[in-house]
């Protein structure tokens, strides 16, 4: 699978500058490449799964060589749907698991900077400032938010969840990221980010690059139940850290074509998660084509199709298991990566938020008041 940087034309049209789609960007110079950044990440709600991999991690692994890479552990975003004390108490372990999953998937700890969102309060400051650059009806049109509210059994939309894309904009823009590889459920959020960046630049001067969405070849991976996207919260996920036996058990229990009660009845490949997984993870394309043809003709059973998928997933996951074992053995490595990465990111974010405060005139207001107060104090004390 290859990554594609896709400027979103509809988002661009909503802003004040012409769509990027009509203005091809020349390839960056080596110096620009060194300073161009990627930001993406995950909520620390559990271990990473195949959906995270195809939606985003795979592109991260490619793009880390081209872009300075920031990977957020988005615990403030977790709070939009899970905010009990028990949820929060799990964040540190979930964060370690996520970082380990990322390293196992091929993220290079020398290249990528992992950071914990809530440990950088300037991100929340930026979120507050950005809240005035977007309207409530605009956010109400973001489809994923309603889905997340429904999946989290929320009867009414929490204020923080409605603002999810605004906080995400603060994450992306606080390091002035140029590219954001995310799965389909996040695409509309990046449109909001592009609008906020343009609106900010229009009102206060050019501070932010307008980041580009990087779409993956499989924007949404179905869950093993075939009901919707693979999600930890729904319990239909195959984890990157699952053992061979767990993968086998989960694949055997997978939803296929519900109308196909016997192996000699022609089956449907489209929308069938077993075949979506074959397309995504089975490198033997001839085998996949042959299985599809036989499935459509009613000459292969689910058992064989699934057994071949288990074998393909084994080939895909085995190198990850090897890398995982290597990193697992290094005590404290994950904590150190998160802490050092957070310190480093906070320094970057402070610089950007300083620029934002200056551009908006907030720094000027405060400095003026402080100067006058100091002058008054000096006059009084003289
Ligand atoms: P879960 O519901 O399993 O907790 P999530 O949606 O909360 O997962 P996030 O941390 O919000 O996971 O998403 C991290 C990244 O992974 C995002 O870019 C998201 O689009 C992508 N992603 C998550 N699930 C899938 C999926 N089933 N298919 C494609 N991309 C996905
Ligand atoms: Mg999500």
Find the 42 Cα to ligand 1 centroid distance in Å: 7
- CA 353 to centroid of chain Cα atoms: 22
The predicted-structure confidence for 82-100, as pLDDT tens digits, reads as follows: 999 999 999 999 999 999 9
pLDDT at 260 (0 to 100):
86
CB of 187 sitting under 6 A from ligand 1: no
What percent of the chain is modeled with pLDDT above 90?
85
- Nearest Cα to 250, choosing from 260, 262, 258, 242? 242
CB of 233 sitting under 6 A from ligand 1: yes
pLDDT at 26 (0 to 100):
57
In the three-class reduction of DSSP (H, G, I as helix; E, B as strand; rest coil), residue 295 is classed as: helix
Find the 313 Cα to ligand 2 centroid distance in Å: 23
Query: From CA 228, how far away is CA 44, in angstroms rounded?
Result: 21
- Output the residue whose Cα is nearest ligand 1's atom 16: 52
Q: What is the dihedral of CA 278, 231, 271, 289, to 10 degrees?
A: -10
At residue 7, does pLDDT exceed 50?
no
- Output the residue whose Cα is nearest ligand 1's atom 10: 42
Determine contact, residues 192/139, Cβ cutoff 8 Å.
yes
Ligand lying nearest the CA atom of residue 239? 1
Find the 381 Cα to ligand 1 centroid distance in Å: 61
Average pLDDT of every residue of the chain: 91
Q: What is the mean pLDDT of residues 113-123?
A: 98
Find the 65 Cα to ligand 1 centroid distance in Å: 23
pLDDT at 227 (0 to 100):
87
Residue 189 gets the label, from left (phi > 0), alpha (psi -120 to 50) or beta, of alpha
Global pTM value = 0.89
Query: From CA 197, how far away is CA 227, in angstroms rounded?
Result: 35
Helices then strands, counting H and E runs in the chain, come out as: 19, 6
- Report which ligand 1 atom has the smallest distance to the Cα of 232: 3
Find the 301 Cα to ligand 2 centroid distance in Å: 34
pLDDT at 32 (0 to 100):
54
Find the 51 Cα to ligand 1 centroid distance in Å: 6
CB of 54 sitting under 6 A from ligand 1: yes
Ligand lying nearest the CA atom of residue 145? 2
Other CB atoms closer than 10 Å to residue 138's CB: what's the count? 15
Q: List the beta bridge partners of residue 71.
A: 40, 114
Burial class (CB in 10 A: 0-12, 13-18, 19+), 287: middle
- Nearest Cα to 118, choosing from 342, 307, 328, 337? 342
Give the torsion sign (CA, 31, 35, 40, 43). positive
- Report which ligand 1 atom has the smallest distance to the Cα of 46: 4
At residue 210, does pLDDT exceed 70?
yes
The residue assigned the tokens 């789609």 is: 21
CB of 338 sitting under 6 A from ligand 1: no
CB of 220 sitting under 6 A from ligand 1: yes
Lowest mean pLDDT among 57-71, 193-207, 261-275: 261-275
Find the 211 Cα to ligand 1 centroid distance in Å: 20
- Output the residue whose Cα is nearest ligand 1's atom 14: 42
pLDDT at 233 (0 to 100):
76
The predicted-structure confidence for 18-31, as pLDDT tens digits, reads as follows: 333 344 545 555 55
Query: From CA 232, how far away is CA 55, in angstroms rounded?
Result: 14
Ligand lying nearest the CA atom of residue 187? 1
Query: From CA 72, how far away is CA 116, in angstroms rounded?
Result: 6
The predicted-structure confidence for 25-81, as pLDDT tens digits, reads as follows: 455 555 555 589 999 999 999 999 999 999 999 999 999 999 999 999 999 999 999
Find the 278 Cα to ligand 1 centroid distance in Å: 20
Query: From CA 11, how far away is CA 327, in angstroms rounded?
Result: 40
Ligand lying nearest the CA atom of residue 185? 1
Other CB atoms closer than 10 Å to residue 109's CB: what's the count? 18
pLDDT at 128 (0 to 100):
98
CB of 224 sitting under 6 A from ligand 1: no
At residue 354, does pLDDT exceed 80?
yes
At residue 16, does pLDDT exceed 50?
no
């Amino acid at each position: 699978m290859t990554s594609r940087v896709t400027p979103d034309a509809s988002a661009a049209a909503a802003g004040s500058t012409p769509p990027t789609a009509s203005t091809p960007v020349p390839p960056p110079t080596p110096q620009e490449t060194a300073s161009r950044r990627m930001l993406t990440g995950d909520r620390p709600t559990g271990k990473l799964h195949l959906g995270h991999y195809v939606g985003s991690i795979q592109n991260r692994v490619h793009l880390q060589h081209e872009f300075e890479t920031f990977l957020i552990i988005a615990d403030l975003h977790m709070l939009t749907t899970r905010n009990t004390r028990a949820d929060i108490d799990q964040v540190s372990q979930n964060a370690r698991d996520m970082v380990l999953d990322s390293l196992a998937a091929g993220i290079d700890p020398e290249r990528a900077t992992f950071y914990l969102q809530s440990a950088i309060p300037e991100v929340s400051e930026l979120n507050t400032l950005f809240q005035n650059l977007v309207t409530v009806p605009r956010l109400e049109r973001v489809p994923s938010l309603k889905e997340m509210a429904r999946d989290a059994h929320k009867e009414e939309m929490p204020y923080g969840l409605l603002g999810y894309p605004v906080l995400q904009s603060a994450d992306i823009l606080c390091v002035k990221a140029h590219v954001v590889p995310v799965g389909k459920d996040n695409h509309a959020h990046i449109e909001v980010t592009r609008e906020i960046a343009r609106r900010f630049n229009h009102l206060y001067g050019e501070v932010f690059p307008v980041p580009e969405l990087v779409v993956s070849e499989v924007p949404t991976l179905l869950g093993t139940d075939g009901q919707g996207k693979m999600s930890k919260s729904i319990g239909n996920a195959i984890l990157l850290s699952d053992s061979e036996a767990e993968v086998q058990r989960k694949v055997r229990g997978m939803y296929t074509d519900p109308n196909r009660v016997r192996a000699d009845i022609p089956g449907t490949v489209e929308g069938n998660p077993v075949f979506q997984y074959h397309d995504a993870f089975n490198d033997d394309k001839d085998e996949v084509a042959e299985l599809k043809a036989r499935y459509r003709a009613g000459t292969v059973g689910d058992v064989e199709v699934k057994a071949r998928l288990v074998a393909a997933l084994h080939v895909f996951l085995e190198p990850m298991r090897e890398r995982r074992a290597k990193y697992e053995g290094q005590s404290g490595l994950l904590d150190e990566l998160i802490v050092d990465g957070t310190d480093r990111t906070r320094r970057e974010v402070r610089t950007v938020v300083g620029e934002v405060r200056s551009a908006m005139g907030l720094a000027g207001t405060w400095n003026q008041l402080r100067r006058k107060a100091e002058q008054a104090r000096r006059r009084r004390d003289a």
